[in-house]
Structure 1
């Protein structure tokens, strides 16, 4: 089969090649990949800044995929040939709290991912793809949608009428906005791009703040919330900007730390964190059970992803370059014709 192989760190070392089509073992599904979507994690792996000591070489990257089951191993009971399924990032995290070694079993690194014509997914980690979505649409769910859902619903315990702050207009933030709006919450979005703020407001977001022209953007968020701050903040930036997110979040609110776009280390000012009694929660996606709770909600509210561009399989490098520029929504690669 054809597969993109990361032979060393750097996008120039992501090369299209031929590898044997895998054979499903007991409990495994062989999936003909229809489409994959890119996340910042995928870019960070290629760049060599995401747990580089864990990256095997060569590696078939990209965790988020949707496709059709074309063969099954012995003992498989949850799916049949012909079913459409999604991958999940953590192949062994089914429910409850994650185990201490979950990152060892992540698709797309260190396990082979979906940037290939076929991939292996264990039946216990697979989720039935929504029938209302194409493979391109469904491929955006495993990290972007699920991270947003878990942060808001399972961790943030979001209630109708509350306020959600989302940072930027990438995949997680747009899904968070759509889910929060469907749940009856108010949404404030930040971005450095007024055109993107206009786009996200057209989705129903109540207010937008340009953090480049308003460097004290947290003060504007407070003004928009009568001095209280957001109930749940989806923090994608990382770095020292976490202090502004804490300031923009209400007393005893939740800051869901889901990303590290501006840095993997942070100097947190402890006194505001303590006095505001903020819950600062690291979010590393979610278990399969949360995925299965999310999909009916997406169907009920007809929530679809915002896809910035769909690239053909042969143009995977261009898709990564697009991701690096900062898309509005998701970047998708169509695998199967």
Structure 2
């Protein structure tokens, strides 16, 4: 079978990834072999091939965690899946329930374990979920990381309530899912982006308001203005770095900041004074667990939600998908077609 592997770290995907031939993996006891149909990219996939995510990661490794495929064969003791079932991979392959896997359970696809940019994968049955019936395979491939991260940020723990205001940074995969889930919950949404054409698409998707951060670099002041000086109830913080102090200023007393990403850097000089004085809750989260994934899928199916797939690339053009993601050119998700049958 054909598979992409990262066999060395590099700044460009062409330096780090190559296509190779591997044996089709047989399913062992409790395992399922899946014929992969589609895979989707996340920001962490850029950091992995550059050696920034796990600098000591043993190579080679097959990249990508998010994918959808068809069950082809099952090993002994598999009870939940049968040949022909449509499934999506889970981010954590060995995970405790509760949404906060401990360090011993953080075995993730495309990093500690070979990922899904491959014609076939074999994973434990606990590393798969059924996909909502109304979704295409390409749409279902986007749920694993981006969809579940947004769901966790808004719907788990202390869920958003109708009428609350949610500030969403950017228009990438997590951010667009957050916009969709916030709308389902009856929330007011404010979307930030430097690109007016992306803001226009966000408004068409249902964003209540948008702010162009190129035209309004001190966007936190504009957020306060639009919320009557109160601030927002919740921030979807995907930028990190210098953005976090602005998010603190834009958040109301007693509000929350869901720290999801570090697009502009992993370090931030943050004064703790507004955290204390405004009693703001900072919550870091890393995707979510399998029970959470199942809950999200029930909501996706009940509401007929359709993930935003921006572009689909062929398996042969997978490196181009990486480069488009790296340029920040996507609105929603970038997907790679692995097979049609």
| Normalised-by-shorter TM-score class | over 0.9
Aligned to 1:166: 168
Q: Does 1:44 align with 2:33?
A: no
The TM-score normalised by the length of structure 1 is 0.97
Q: Does 1:150 align with 2:152?
A: yes
CA deviations 1:70-126 (Å, max 9, x no partner) are 011111011111111111111122521533225641111010000000112211121
Q: Does 1:14 align with 2:51?
A: no
Identify the match of residue 311 of structure 2 among 296, 309, 312: 309
Counterparts of 1:225-304 in structure 2, within 5 Å, are 225-304=227-306
Assess if the C-alpha contact under 8 Å between 1:238 and 1:261 holds in 2: yes
Give the SS at the match of 2:27.
Answer: coil
Aligned to 1:330: 333
Unaligned segments of structure 2, at least 5 residues: none
Aligned to 2:94: 92
Assess if the C-alpha contact under 8 Å between 2:93 and 2:106 holds in 1: no
Partners of 1:219 and 1:268 in 2: CA distance: 17
Counterparts of 1:156-195 in structure 2, within 5 Å, are 156-195=158-197
Quick one: structure 1 residues 112 and 131, their matched pair in 2 at CA, closer, same or farther if it must change by over 3 Å? Answer: same
Partners of 2:100 and 2:219 in 1: CA distance: 34
Unaligned segments of structure 1, at least 5 residues: none
Aligned to 2:60: 58
Partners of 1:231 and 1:125 in 2: CA distance: 34
Give the SS at the match of 1:66.
Answer: strand
Partners of 1:14 and 1:333 in 2: CA distance: 15
Partners of 2:244 and 2:116 in 1: CA distance: 32
Partners of 2:174 and 2:158 in 1: CA distance: 15
Assess if the C-alpha contact under 8 Å between 1:3 and 1:17 holds in 2: yes
Quick one: structure 1 residues 102 and 257, their matched pair in 2 at CA, closer, same or farther if it must change by over 3 Å? Answer: farther
Partners of 1:102 and 1:333 in 2: CA distance: 31
Partners of 1:325 and 1:144 in 2: CA distance: 18
Assess if the C-alpha contact under 8 Å between 1:90 and 1:102 holds in 2: no
Partners of 1:229 and 1:102 in 2: CA distance: 39
In the TM superposition, structure 1's runs of 4+ consecutive aligned residues that sit over 4 Å from their partners are none
Assess if the C-alpha contact under 8 Å between 2:99 and 2:288 holds in 1: no
Cα deviation, residue 156, structure 1: 4.1
Partners of 2:23 and 2:106 in 1: CA distance: 23
Assess if the C-alpha contact under 8 Å between 2:244 and 2:270 holds in 1: yes
Identify the match of residue 29 of structure 1 among 28, 32, 48: 32
Partners of 2:2 and 2:42 in 1: CA distance: 21
Partners of 1:101 and 1:203 in 2: CA distance: 38
CA deviations 1:274-304 (Å, max 9, x no partner) are 1111110101000111111111211222211
Give the SS at the match of 2:94.
Answer: coil
Quick one: structure 1 residues 227 and 103, their matched pair in 2 at CA, closer, same or farther if it must change by over 3 Å? Answer: farther
Assess if the C-alpha contact under 8 Å between 1:231 and 1:254 holds in 2: yes
Identify the match of residue 219 of structure 2 among 217, 220, 228: 217
Counterparts of 1:104-123 in structure 2, within 5 Å, are 104-123=106-125
Cα deviation, residue 207, structure 1: 0.7
Give the SS at the match of 1:311.
Answer: strand
CA RMSD for the aligned pairs?
1.2
Equivalenced residue count is 336
